[in-house]
A and B are shown apart, each in its own frame.
Chain A
Amino acid sequence: MTEKRPTYLSGDERLDDLARMVLELTSEVWVLKDRTMVLEHLLAAKGTLAEAEIDQFQPAAELAAVLRREREALLARVLGALLPSDDRVKSALSR
Chain B
Amino acid sequence: MNKPLKNNICEEKLFERLYKKHSKNLHDFLYYKFGEQLNPQDKVQEAFIKLWQNCSKIEPPKAKSFLFTTANNLMLNAVAHQKVVLKYNKLPHKHSTNVSPEFVLQEKEYNEKLQNALANLTEAQRVAFLMNRVEGKRFKEIAALLDISTKAVEKRIYGALKKLRKDIEEL
Question: Is this pair of chains taken from one and the same complex?
Answer: no
Residues of chain A having any CB pair with chain B under 8 Å = none
* Chain B interface residues toward A at CB < 8 A: none
